[in-house]
């Protein structure tokens, strides 16, 4: 993109969870607060030299960094000195402008990526981003955030369980057999694999060991660590009158491997019992979602959820979709925008252990999510839809749509991957649809399904659409000069 195109994008983008504008006159520590908040949350862009959209409009917002270049220089120095631990994923570049005084000037664009660490200012403040605001958090929330990011690992903690009384010994025996470890002492084997610890001369299960091999971890750990299944007729729950359940909601508990297998058994039961529908002269099953895609979704939820959160995984079946809601937001540096390419495990011991079973539900080769997208596409279904934490806080919320893709979606989807946003006019141009109302209805239907998010006012000329949680691609800013700290 040219500087002019980048500038147009910034002027038309509202301040939100991942985007903020600040004048150069703002004190450097105020700018640092936004950097820390972005790093601790979902990352974002901070544009310095651009007035807040609530205080000016259009080109009147172009104040430029010449207003106080010393503040900008100090800010860039303080990033390296005043944030603990140091930021690793920070870049910045300049774009040329003509400011409100008709003088050549620049804006500074700082790009902060979501971090695996929890960062604080050295003066003591720890901040997160909520909507348009930077919020200071206290010690309790800092601990919760560390669990969320995986900086503290729930699975490594001692469980207080010192005996095999509640253990599924058959499952442990199978695991030892599958790993050619049958002749090893049970406690030593568990300790060597991160499933037990030894202190004060006694062996003790870690919480990972309990989750993986206890007959009922929910009871033993006094926590909710199972799967809650709700199955509805139609496309939404009925909150008045008779509930529209296909069957009474039920829980799946027990060792994690058994939870996954029982969930897959129910999925197969739903497929076998669903009435086929006539489509194009051919009867097709009502549930079109491939089993492999569902298995990957459930396995990821079980492996990567935040077990410090007192809640079960929620799986909801509707006629047009399956929802998988996993406690705890995206771990480490993972976001909706990079989940197909990046890897980070909040629970590496659980992931490793499940993978070493001969009947492993996970391949652990870093391709599961991407393959899930491909399998859905091969079945002519919409991409798996991960909702961003700004829409669904404190959970990873995945929707597998049980709907055949509309022909034009692939064209619009590709355009959004490359250009971040799309208007009605642009959508008509790339699809060949000439009717504005027809395009509006299509865009509205995709918004209703959760595939798109509408941004801007009601006027057709100002409204545009983005994928929920989609980050502005760095490639769009290739016109600027990028520097890493």
What integer pLDDT is reported at residue 407 of this predicted model? 82
- Can you tell me the mean pLDDT for 287-293? 93
Rounded to 10 deg, the angle between the 291-304 and 256-273 helix axes is 150
CB 356 within 8 A of CB 179: yes
Q: pLDDT per residue over 332-357, tens digit each?
A: 999 998 898 888 999 999 999 999 99
Overall CATH class of domain 3-137: alpha beta
Residue 482 has pLDDT above 90, yes or no: no
428 to 12, 169, 450, 454: CA distances (angstroms): 21, 62, 20, 16
- Can you tell me the mean pLDDT for 349-367? 82
Residue 72 has pLDDT above 80, yes or no: yes
Which of residues 366 and 57 earns the better pLDDT score? 57
Residue 249 has pLDDT above 90, yes or no: yes
- Element at 426 (helix H, strand E): helix 424-431
What integer pLDDT is reported at residue 9 of this predicted model? 83
Locate 32 and state its tokens.
């640092």
What integer pLDDT is reported at residue 483 of this predicted model? 36
Phi, psi of 274 (to 5 degrees): -80, 140
- Can you tell me the mean pLDDT for 420-439? 91
Listed as own residue / partner, the contacts of 141-148 with beta carbons closer than 8 Å and 24 or more positions apart are 142/118, 144/308, 145/40, 145/118, 146/118, 147/306, 147/308, 147/309, 147/328, 148/306, 148/328, 148/329, 148/331
Q: Lowest-pLDDT range, 3-12, 42-51, 316-325, 459-468?
A: 459-468
- Can you tell me the mean pLDDT for 219-231? 97
What integer pLDDT is reported at residue 36 of this predicted model? 97
Phi, psi of 389 (to 5 degrees): -65, -20
Residue 281 has pLDDT above 70, yes or no: no
User: How many alpha carbons lie under 13 Å from residue 170 in its C-beta half-sphere?
Assistant: 4
Residue 295 has pLDDT above 90, yes or no: yes
Give the Cα-Cα-Cα angle 459, 463, 468 (nearest 5 degrees).
150
Q: Distance (Å, rounded) from C-alpha 151 to C-alpha 123?
A: 21
Considering the entire predicted model, what is its pTM? 0.86
Q: Across-strand partners of 396?
A: 326
What integer pLDDT is reported at residue 186 of this predicted model? 97
- Can you tell me the mean pLDDT for 225-235? 95
Q: Does domain 410-466 have CATH number 1.10.10?
A: yes
Residue 283, Cβ density class (10 Å: 0-12 exposed, 13-18 middle, ≥19 buried): exposed
- Can you tell me the mean pLDDT for 80-87? 94
- Can you tell me the mean pLDDT for 152-169? 96
Confidence of residue 481 (pLDDT cuts 50, 70, 90): very low
Q: Lowest-pLDDT range, 100-114, 116-130, 365-379?
A: 365-379
Q: Distance (Å, rounded) from C-alpha 448 to C-alpha 83?
A: 41
Confidence of residue 168 (pLDDT cuts 50, 70, 90): very high
User: How many alpha carbons lie under 13 Å from residue 88 in its C-beta half-sphere?
Assistant: 7
Provide CB contacts within 8 A for 74, sequence distance 6+. 28
In sign, the C-alpha dihedral spanning 386, 388, 389, 392 is negative
- Can you tell me the mean pLDDT for 16-45? 94
Overall CATH class of domain 227-401: alpha beta
343 to 40, 112, 300, 348, 369: CA distances (angstroms): 18, 19, 12, 11, 10
Considering the chain, what is the average pLDDT of its residues?
90
Provide CB contacts within 8 A for 108, sequence distance 6+. 24, 47, 48, 49, 65, 72, 92, 93, 94
What integer pLDDT is reported at residue 364 of this predicted model? 54
Q: Distance (Å, rounded) from C-alpha 415 to C-alpha 412?
A: 5
What integer pLDDT is reported at residue 391 of this predicted model? 85
- Element at 154 (helix H, strand E): none
Q: Which residue has the tokens 């509309």?
A: 406
What integer pLDDT is reported at residue 421 of this predicted model? 86
Give residue limits of the domains in the chain: 3-137, 154-220, 227-401, 410-466
């Amino acid at each position: 993109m040219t500087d002019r195109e980048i500038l147009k994008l910034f002027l038309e983008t509202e301040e939100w969870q991942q985007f903020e504008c600040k004048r150069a006159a703002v004190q450097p520590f105020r700018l640092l607060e936004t950097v820390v908040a972005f790093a601790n949350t979902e990352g974002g862009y901070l544009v310095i030299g651009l007035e807040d959209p609530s205080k000016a409009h259009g080109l009147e917002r172009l104040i430029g960094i010449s207003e106080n270049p010393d503040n900008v220089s100090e800010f860039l120095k303080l990033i390296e000195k005043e944030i603990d631990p140091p930021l690793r994923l920070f870049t910045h570049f300049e774009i040329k402008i003509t400011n409100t005084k008709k003088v050549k000037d620049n804006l500074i664009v700082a790009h902060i990526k979501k971090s695996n660490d929890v960062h604080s200012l050295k003066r003591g403040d720890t901040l997160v981003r909520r909507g348009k605001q930077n919020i200071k958090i206290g010690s309790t929330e800092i601990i919760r955030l560390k669990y969320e990011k995986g900086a503290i690992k729930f699975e490594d903690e001692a469980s207080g369980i010192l005996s095999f009384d509640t253990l599924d010994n058959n499952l442990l025996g199978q695991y030892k057999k599958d790993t050619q470890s049958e002749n090893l002492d049970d406690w030593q084997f568990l300790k060597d694999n991160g499933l037990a610890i030894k202190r004060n001369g006694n062996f003790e299960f870690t919480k990972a060991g309990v989750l993986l091999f206890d007959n009922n971890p929910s009871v033993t750990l006094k926590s909710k660590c199972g799967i809650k299944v709700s199955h509805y007729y139609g496309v939404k729950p009925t909150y008045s009158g008779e509930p529209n359940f296909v069957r009474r909601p039920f829980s799946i508990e027990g060792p994690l491997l058994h939870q996954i297998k029982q969930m897959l058994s129910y999925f197969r039961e739903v497929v076998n019992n669903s009435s086929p529908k006539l489509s194009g002269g051919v009867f097709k099953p009502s549930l079109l979602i491939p089993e492999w895609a569902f298995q990957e979704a459930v396995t990821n939820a079980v492996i990567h959820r935040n077990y410090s959160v007192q809640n079960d995984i929620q799986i909801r079946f509707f006629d047009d979709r399956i929802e998988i809601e996993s406690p705890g937001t995206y771990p480490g540096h993972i976001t909706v925008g990079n989940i197909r390419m990046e890897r980070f495990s909040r629970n590496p011991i659980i992931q490793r252990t499940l993978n070493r079973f001969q009947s492993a539900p996970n391949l652990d080769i870093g391709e599961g999510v991407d393959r899930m997208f491909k399998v859905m596409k091969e079945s002519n279904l919409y991409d798996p839809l991960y909702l961003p934490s700004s829409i669904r806080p404190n959970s990873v919320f995945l929707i597998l749509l049980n709907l055949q893709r509309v022909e034009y979606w692939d064209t619009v989807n590709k355009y959004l991957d490359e250009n971040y946003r799309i208007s009605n006019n642009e959508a008509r141009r790339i699809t060949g649809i000439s009717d504005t109302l027809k395009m509006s209805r299509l865009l509205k239907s995709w918004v209703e399904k959760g595939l798109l998010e509408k941004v801007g006012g009601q006027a057709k000329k100002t409204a545009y659409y983005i994928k929920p949680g989609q980050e502005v691609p760095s490639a769009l800013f290739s016109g600027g000069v990028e520097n890493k700290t």
